[in-house]
């Protein structure tokens, strides 16, 4: 089962998504044409007067690395899903690289941009670029889907972990005003923090128990930094022994556990930092926005017997009685960016090594998805892939994990570069 197909009329007004079989019939009859490849959208060759449209609910499960998005009908049918992979870490590394190059030029007394300080103030609600990227890409896709489908409501999972209340269960009042929302699950936090495996023997897919790193019988607390997960065998074997005594022959493992225990959960912190910014952005779209909690999402997923997938988690957000999954082949989108503006490419030491030409080249940009029809030669055949155009009139393709060079004269654009890569 594949995703339902988006349908718009000649005036680009969104209609009800249709089944893939119905979409093929309309294409074969010549009543529609392909309007957009990703997400796949058909456009009717006529205007539909007073169409009967059933509003859909767009559900979002924000994540640090991957965000799940699903479209659900009023009858509880999941007809479309996608997973959006962010590139927050790449943005962070790119900014650090730029910072290193600029500082290197200043120290070498070469031409450089003068350093600035004490003359800039961050606006209220400022987020780091690597975090704001998650908000903006999710907002972009919500707006994009609103153009192709009759969206009537948006539901967002607003909170996953209450890290502040987990760390101090007695927190309240003014101490809690900078914390996150109520509703948390210590076990889910620990599962995410310790990788769903026993910290002592690294066993996976076994029942795990919450274990005190510093034994409670020896004065250990219930703080989240003193908790980990262990299988029953290791938990019984450790008993009330101090962890230093229990792992005296495994010093490397001891160092890793003690370091991880005090380390905050990076992904949960990223989600907690961006959730309200995303909520505010979604409200500005103009549709009703409701919220759900992570515990509620997991309860719905386990009650309905659905596998752990980002897009299915999104379908389970909020109050959900029943769900009927009508699709399995979902759209997987990866944020790749539009490319850097740096014309002079440098090596790791900051010295120039080559000059990047201006784009486009012969009408193509790096990242365009094209169809190449090669009539003869070594690469004879038809290929559809991303292209990297060269100044000599040829383009590089990666097909079946092999790099190929094909003339750009044989290429026809299928989907212009928009900062994302797509796969089903």
> Three-state SS across 391-405?
CCCEEEEEECCEEEE
Instruction: Say what the pLDDT of residue 272 is.
Output: 77
Confidence label for 118 from pLDDT (cuts 50, 70 and 90): confident
As separate numbers, helices (DSSP H) first and strands (DSSP E) second, the chain gives 11, 21
pLDDT digit string, tens, across residues 194-205? 888 999 998 888
Q: Hey, where are the domains in the chain?
A: 6-87+127-159+286-335, 165-169+181-264, 355-423
Instruction: Say what the pLDDT of residue 139 is.
Output: 96
Q: Please give the structure tokens belonging to residue 384.
A: 């559809």
Please give the CATH number for the structural domain made up of 6-87+127-159+286-335. Answer: 3.30.420
Within this chain, domains 6-87+127-159+286-335 and 165-169+181-264 share the same CATH topology: no
Higher pLDDT, 42 or 190: 42
Instruction: Say what the pLDDT of residue 175 is.
Output: 45
* Residues contacting 163, CB < 8 A, separation 6+: 180, 184, 189, 224, 264, 265, 268, 269, 272
Can you tell me the mean pLDDT for 2-26?
A: 94
pLDDT > 90? residue 222? no
Dist CA 40 CA 17 (whole Å): 11
pLDDT > 50? residue 182? no
- Taking each helix axis from N to C end, the angle separating 88-107 and 129-148, rounded to the nearest 10 degrees, works out to 140
Cis peptide before 349 (omega within 30 of 0): no
Angle at 92 between CA 90 and CA 97, to 5 degrees: 90
Confidence label for 170 from pLDDT (cuts 50, 70 and 90): low
Instruction: Say what the pLDDT of residue 20 is.
Output: 93
Instruction: Say what the pLDDT of residue 79 is.
Output: 95
Dist CA 383 CA 371 (whole Å): 6
Confidence label for 354 from pLDDT (cuts 50, 70 and 90): confident
Q: Give the Å distances, CA to CA, from 49 to 15, 33, 46, 236.
A: 11, 19, 10, 71
Mean pLDDT of all residues in the chain? Answer: 86
pLDDT digit string, tens, across residues 241-300? 888 889 988 888 888 888 888 776 677 778 878 888 999 999 999 999 998 888 788 888
Higher pLDDT, 178 or 190: 190
Percentage of the chain surpassing pLDDT 70? 93
Dist CA 278 CA 139 (whole Å): 7
Higher pLDDT, 401 or 264: 401
Dist CA 161 CA 414 (whole Å): 42
Q: Please give the structure tokens belonging to residue 120.
A: 């800039």
For residue 35, the surrounding DSSP H or E stretch is strand 32-36
Confidence label for 163 from pLDDT (cuts 50, 70 and 90): low
Q: Which residues of 37-66 are buried (b: 16+ CB within 10 A; e: fewer)?
A: ebbbbbbbeeeeeeeeeeebbbbbbbbbeb
Nearest-10 Cα torsion for 240, 171, 262, 66: 120
Q: Which residues of 131-162 are buried (b: 16+ CB within 10 A; e: fewer)?
A: bbbbbebbbbbbeebbebbbbebbbbbbbbbb
Can you tell me the mean pLDDT for 230-241?
A: 90
Contact 294, 267 (CB under 8 A): no
Give the global pTM: 0.77
CATH architecture of structural domain 355-423: Roll (2.30)
Confidence label for 178 from pLDDT (cuts 50, 70 and 90): very low
For residue 258, the surrounding DSSP H or E stretch is helix 251-262
Higher pLDDT, 322 or 120: 322
pLDDT > 70? residue 160? no
Contact 388, 361 (CB under 8 A): no
Confidence label for 179 from pLDDT (cuts 50, 70 and 90): very low
Please give the CATH number for the structural domain made up of 165-169+181-264. Answer: 1.10.30
Higher pLDDT, 271 or 393: 393
Contact 230, 212 (CB under 8 A): no
* Beta-bridge partner residues of 403: 398
Confidence label for 185 from pLDDT (cuts 50, 70 and 90): low
Instruction: Say what the pLDDT of residue 183 is.
Output: 34
């Amino acid at each position: 089962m594949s995703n339902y197909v988006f349908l718009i009329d000649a005036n680009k007004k969104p209609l009800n998504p249709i089944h893939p079989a119905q979409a093929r019939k309309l294409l074969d009859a010549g009543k529609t044409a392909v309007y957009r490849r990703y997400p796949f959208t058909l456009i009717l060759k006529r205007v539909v007067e007073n169409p009967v449209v059933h509003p859909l609910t767009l559900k979002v499960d924000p994540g640090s690395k991957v965000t799940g998005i699903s479209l659900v009908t009023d009858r509880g049918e999941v007809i479309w899903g996608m997973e959006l992979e962010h590139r927050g870490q790449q943005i962070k590394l790119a900014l650090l690289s730029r910072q290193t190059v600029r500082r290197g030029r200043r120290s070498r007394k070469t031409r450089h941009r003068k350093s600035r300080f004490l003359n800039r103030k961050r606006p209220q609600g400022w987020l780091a670029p690597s975090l704001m990227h998650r908000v903006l890409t999710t907002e972009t896709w919500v707006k994009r889907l609103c153009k192709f489908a009759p969206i009537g409501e948006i539901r967002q999972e607003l909170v996953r972990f209450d890290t502040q209340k987990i760390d101090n269960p007695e927190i309240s009042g003014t101490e809690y005003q900078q914390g996150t929302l109520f509703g948390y699950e210590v076990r889910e936090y620990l599962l995410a923090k310790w990788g769903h495996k026993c910290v002592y023997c690294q066993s996976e897919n076994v029942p795990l128990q919450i274990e005190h790193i510093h034994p409670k019988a020896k004065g250990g607390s219930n703080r989240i930094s003193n908790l980990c997960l262990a299988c029953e065998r290791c938990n019984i074997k450790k008993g009330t022994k101090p962890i230093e005594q229990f792992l005296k022959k495994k010093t490397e493992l001891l160092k890793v556990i003690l370091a991880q225990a005090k380390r905050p959960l990076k992904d949960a912190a990223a989600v907690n930092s961006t959730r309200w910014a995303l909520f505010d952005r979604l409200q500005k779209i103009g549709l009703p926005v409701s919220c759900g909690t992570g515990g509620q999402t997991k309860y719905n997923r386990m009650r309905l017997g659905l596998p752990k997938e980002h897009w299915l988690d999104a379908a389970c957000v909020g109050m959900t009685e029943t769900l009927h999954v009508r699709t399995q082949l979902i759209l997987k989108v990866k944020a790749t960016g539009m490319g850097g503006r740096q014309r002079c490419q440098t090596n790791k030491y900051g010295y120039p090594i080559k000059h990047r030409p201006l784009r486009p080249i012969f009408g193509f940009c790096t990242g365009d998805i094209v169809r190449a029809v090669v009539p003869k030669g070594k690469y004879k055949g038809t290929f559809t892939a991303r292209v990297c155009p060269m100044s000599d009139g040829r383009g590089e393709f990666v097909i079946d994990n092999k790099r190929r060079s094909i003339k750009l004269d044989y290429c026809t654009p299928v989907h212009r570069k928009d900062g994302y890569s797509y796969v089903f």
